[in-house]
Amino acid sequence: MSKILQLKITLKHTDPAVFRTIQVSSKINFLKLHDVIQLVMLWENSHLHEFKFNEYRISQLFEESDADWSEGVIDSKEVVVGKVLTKGDKLTYEYDFGDSWIHDIIVEKEFPSEPGVFYPRCIDGAMQRPPEDCGGIPGYFGIIELMKGEKNDEYEEMVEWLGEPFDPTEFDLVMVNELLVDVFSVKKKKK
């Protein structure tokens, strides 16, 4: 029976907090943890990312990686989450070095996997993540304010850019878990 880690992931500088609480196998590597975070936050996985834990930097390395950026970075495919993290540990996850979406991650619990439960799974969360490429936290709060205001040309242009009106309170736990099952059950079957 494998060990499960419960992680609370909170997007820094958001109030009310954009967060997700997930449960993952301790046997996954940091690249798979990145994939899980992308899915539960509904990020588009179109930017670089990096985990920071103590003095370590962990990220996906590519052959064409910028030597300055990747110096001292440990390949996320090579690091198993459960060999590094235990209950009470804190780390950060940064997605998109331009908008700098920094997430605080806390390991809340460790426990044995439960028979018949699909992992990874999301057990709690709140708020919709900011739109990609919106200009970081200031852009995110600007969009929220614009969506509250009168429906003028600026509002209509933003809705056109986003594809629909933005509701920051929207979070669908059932849909997120269906997405996790769809993606990770397919990956398990391919093995």
| Residue-wise DSSP of 98-115 | TTTEEEEEEEEEEEEPPT
pLDDT given for residue 60 in this prediction? 87
Give percent of the chain with pLDDT exceeding 90. Answer: 80
CATH 3.50.50.60 fits 3-127+171-186, yes or no: no
pLDDT band per the 50, 70, 90 thresholds, residue 151? confident
Question: pLDDT, tens digit, for every residue of 6-55?
Answer: 999 999 999 999 999 999 999 999 999 999 999 999 999 999 999 999 98
Predicted TM-score (pTM) of the model is: 0.91
Q: Where are the domains of the chain?
A: 3-127+171-186, 129-169
* Ramachandran region, residue 54 (left: φ > 0; alpha: ψ -120 to 50; beta: rest): left
By C-alpha distance, which of 141, 136, 144 is closest to 95?
Answer: 136
